[in-house]
Amino acid sequence: MPGKLDVPTSRTRALNLANYPTGASQLPEATLPDWAVELTIEIARCTSAEPDVWPLRTTKLVFALEYTFDGTTWLAWQRGESWGGIDLNKLGVEIEYLTFSAPFTPGVNRKVRGTLTIEGGPLRTTAFITLSS
């Protein structure tokens, strides 16, 4: 496409498909590339095609992310939660991934870390993280 800029994007599998136990897990701090200005997290949900992934409505996932501009002062950044089982969007289509995107300020020396808490587990899932510019 004429005039279109190449924009760096990086998608990484953050969690292998496995059963994750009830409890809190710390996500270690990671340095963000200078070019990155948005982080997207995708966590696989239960669908008709993947009925063994996060099937129980009694299983809850809570995630909390923190962000630092300077590598020393950590700030609460984003938080979210969801329950298991099959969820439908407003058109009645099954939602394949719990998807969360958050922008952040461009710069250097930025880092992110987080906590995942599972209630009523285990929770069988896989997850991806995408960084975009």
Q: How far apart are the first and last CA of the chain?
A: 18
User: What CATH architecture applies to the domain 17-132?
Assistant: Sandwich (2.60)
Give the model confidence (pLDDT) of 22-45 as tens digits: 999 998 999 999 999 999 999 999
Domain chopping of the chain, boundaries: 17-132
**pLDDT category, 70, cuts 50, 70, 90?**
confident
Secondary structure of residue 117 in the 3-state scheme: strand
